[in-house]
Every structure is written in structure tokens, then in C-alpha cells.
Amino acid sequence: MQPLLTALRAVAEPTRLRLLALSARGELTVGEMVQILGQSQPRVSRHLKLLAEAGLLDRFREGSRIYHRLVHDGPGAEIARHLIAMLPEDDQDLALDLERLAGVKAERARAAAAYFRRNAARWNELRSLYVDEREVERVLAGFLPAQGIRDLLDVGTGTGSMLELFGPRVTHAQGIDLSREMLAVARANLERAGLKNCVVRQADMFQLPFRGASFDAVTIHQVLHYVDNPGPAIAEAARVLRPGGQMLVADFAPHDLESLRSEHEHRRLGFGDSEVAGWFAAAHLVTREVVHLPGDPLTVTVWLAAKPEGTPG
């Protein structure tokens, strides 16, 4: 009963109800909520703090920004959903809030598109060197079950392509990346795709901000070649994988294109199967399947590993 009483006390104020309704429609910064509500930053921050302390909102920092979103699990999540469902659809304040929210999201999409345009030539040049990404995604999709995955983590999410691929088949998905610019692109893409069960946040792949055994599946797509020593990244991803969970890694097979170091900041020129299998074994994972997708001149390899049942988290 106590979580319910705490939540009811927290939302028993018009502005906090409006903030809860906004948070149900995506993750927002304090500044964006100030813009939507037309109230002062200290006041909005105080209301958000109370909602977070009541277990209704998650708060996370991304550089100098603090994002807020509805909690997705636990008593607070269920209470929040029930409260939001009770809000009147014809309320004038809520209608105006949603109109302003649409403007905020449109501005996000414009900024993300501008960043993508500035970098499109560079990305398209790299993609021309290997097999069509749709073929890679077909193989990846075939490795994970169409149902039964509750929580998925995408490490180095970039534009959010893995979240778009797997989002419709999982209960909840999170993507992490160090680049705020790429996270902005991912948010815009997820918003366009209507994937409300997918969120992204800024985090380091070597120090994931999650408890052990938190995810049923982990994807690491075209990320490891930017890392000097991928082994610890695999081990950290394995830490948050539940027993019985699966890890999908997609990256380049060994190659000799030195230009990718100087022009695309690649630290490693691909990986051999035995090397990746060694990282899996060191992280107490078992290699299940390997698929090679030849391109010209680069070959993409997809490795599937699993965490055996009974393995500590």
C-alpha cells in the first residue's frame, strides 16, 4: 500500500500530473519541460525531483543535461500507467502541452537530420565496402527469437538501428552510446518509428550503469573495431546478461584496409573467429553460431554466444 500512497501524494498537484503525462510520451530534459510548461526551471526541477523520489520517474544525466522518463518496471511503473490512463483527453492544459511537445520533438528531428547529413557521405563510403546492411540485419534477426525477450541492451547504439530492428519483438530495450550527437539521431529515429518501449542513454560500454543479470539479450553491432581491446567490453556486456541470455556481435572479419584507421578512426582491422571465441570464453559465454557475409572488399561476421544457465550474474 505504501508505494501507492507515496505516488498519490506525489501527483496530487496539477503541474506534476502534467509532467507525468509528458514523461509517458518520451524522455525529456528539464529544459524541454520548462519550454513546454512555461514555468521556471527551479520549479519544474523541484516537481520532477518529487516524482522521481516517489518512484514514478527515472532520472539520468547525459553531459550537462538531465533526462526524465517514466519508470518501466516495478510498482511505480504500474501506478504511473494507471494514473495516466485516468487523465481526461479533453483537458486544455494537457492538449496545449502535447502541442508544444510536438514542436520540441520536431526540433529534435531537425537537429538530428542536420547531423546525419553532415556525416552521411562518410558513412555511405564505409557501407559501400561491405554487404548490404539489410542482409546483416536479416541474419541478426534470425538469431534471436521473435518472442520471449523481455529486456534487450544495444551497446554502442549509434543511430539506434538495432533498437529499430528488435524493438517490435521485445518488451523493453535500451541503447547506450558515448556520443550525444548519435543519441540525438537515435532518439529521432525511435520517435519516428513509434517505439515507445525503446530508450537510449549516454554510457560507457566498459562501465555499464546496470546491475548484473539485467538483460535477456545484448547486441554489439559494428562497435568493437573502434576499441583497442574489446575483451573487457565483451566481459562487461556478459556481466549484465541473464543466465540463458544471448549475445550478438556483428563486426568485420580481418582485413588490410589501413585507410579505415586514418579516415574512419577504426582501431582494429577486423577480428578472427578464434579471437572473438576467446573473449566469449573468458566472459563465461559459449559460442553458438558464426556466420560470414562476404562483401567487396570487407566481410561482415556475426557471432552468437549464450550465457549458460546457472552462470553467476
Q: pLDDT value at position 171? A: 94
**DSSP conformational letter for 204:** B
For the residues 251-272, what does the mean pLDDT come to?
A: 90
Which option is the CATH number for 2-101: 1.10.10.10, 3.40.50.150, 1.20.1560.10, 3.40.50.300?
1.10.10.10
Does the structure show a pLDDT above 80 at 255? yes
Write out pLDDT tens, residues 71-109.
887 788 888 888 888 888 788 999 999 999 999 988 888
Percent of the chain predicted with pLDDT > 70? 98
Q: Provide the pairing of β-strand 286-293 with 215-221.
A: unpaired
Sign of the alpha-carbon dihedral angle for 214, 216, 220, 221: negative
Which option is the CATH number for 129-306: 3.40.50.2000, 3.40.930.10, 3.40.190.10, 3.40.50.150?
3.40.50.150
| Whole-number Cα distances in Å, 111 to 91, 105, 108, 188, 277 | 31, 10, 5, 9, 40
Percent of the chain predicted with pLDDT > 90? 62
Contact between 244 and 313 (Cβ < 8 Å): no
Q: What are phi and psi for residue 80, nearest 5 degrees?
A: -60, -45
- CA-wise closest residue to 176 among 218, 216, 238: 218
How would residue 233 be classed by pLDDT, with cut points 50, 70 and 90?
Answer: very high
How would residue 25 be classed by pLDDT, with cut points 50, 70 and 90?
Answer: confident
Report the C-alpha gap between 260 and 268 in whole angstroms.
Answer: 9
Q: pLDDT value at position 26? A: 83
Write out pLDDT tens, residues 29-88.
999 999 999 999 999 999 999 999 989 998 888 777 888 988 887 788 888 888 888 888
Write out pLDDT tens, residues 277-306.
999 999 999 999 999 999 999 999 999 999
- pTM of this structure: 0.82
How would residue 309 be classed by pLDDT, with cut points 50, 70 and 90?
Answer: confident
Does the structure show a pLDDT above 70 at 116? no
Write out pLDDT tens, residues 148-175.
899 999 999 999 999 999 999 999 999 9
Contact between 173 and 151 (Cβ < 8 Å): yes
Q: pLDDT value at position 312? A: 64
Q: pLDDT value at position 15? A: 93
How would residue 310 be classed by pLDDT, with cut points 50, 70 and 90?
Answer: confident
Between CA 198 and CA 202, with CA 201 as vertex, the angle to 5 degrees is 155
Query: How would you classify residue 48: left for phi > 0, otherwise alpha for psi between -120 and 50, otherwise beta?
Result: alpha
Report the C-alpha gap between 257 and 273 in whole angstroms.
Answer: 19
Segments making up each domain of the chain, as ranges: 2-101, 129-306
